[in-house]
Amino acid sequence: MKARVKWLDHMTFVGESESGHTVVMDGAPEVGGRNLAARPMEMVLMGMGGCTAFDVVMILQRARQPVTDCILELTAERADEVPKVFTKIHVHYIVKGKGLSEKQVEKAVNLSAEKYCSVSIMLGKSAVITHDFEIIEA
């Protein structure tokens, strides 16, 4: 896997993935950024959310569960000192569908956290990661 990051101006950068997709990143105003885009650490957190959400939806679909929506709310704490790595991350899954099995949703969340989500497993080397879920009847 490869990526390319190019400085635009001030503290704004554009990243390009090997597959040709681009994303803009910006620094915080206190370091010269203009608040035009997400910060790199925010992107890491969103990347983790995307990775595990993808897993959960795919696992539920393969289990023939009638999932209609999946929303993740992620909260993270960072170290006080540089490097300000994530120290705690909590993921709250909100899974919607008609007649979803609580057991299947729990299994999907756990499989993602323990086996499939490369991002959360990698971040789990330096942060305590917890999760919970709720099911909303569609």
Cα 133 from chain centre? 15
Q: For residue 54, give every residue at least 6 positions away whose Cβ sits within 8 Å of its Cβ, in sequence order, or none.
A: none
Q: In the structure encoding, which two tokens stand for residue 45, read together?
A: 């957190």
Q: Mean of the pLDDT values across residues 61-68?
A: 98
112 burial level (CB within 10 Å; 0-12, 13-18, 19+)? buried
Residue 94 has a pLDDT of 98
Distance CA 12, CA 28 (A): 10
What 3-state class would DSSP assign to 54? helix
Residue 64 has a pLDDT of 98
The CATH number of domain 1-37, selected from 2.20.25.10, 3.40.50.360, 2.70.70.10, 3.40.50.970: 2.20.25.10
Q: What does the pLDDT look like over 78-128, one tens digit per residue?
A: 999 999 999 999 999 999 999 999 999 999 999 999 999 999 999 999 999
Residue 99 has a pLDDT of 97
| CATH 3.30.300.20 matches 40-137 | yes
Q: What does the pLDDT look like over 4-43, one tens digit per residue?
A: 999 999 999 999 999 999 999 999 999 999 999 999 999 9
Residue 50 has a pLDDT of 97
Element (H, E) at 91: strand 86-97
Residue 122 has a pLDDT of 98
Residue 125 has a pLDDT of 96
Cα angle, residue 18 at apex, residues 14 and 19 outer, rounded to 5°: 100
Per-domain boundaries in the chain = 1-37, 40-137
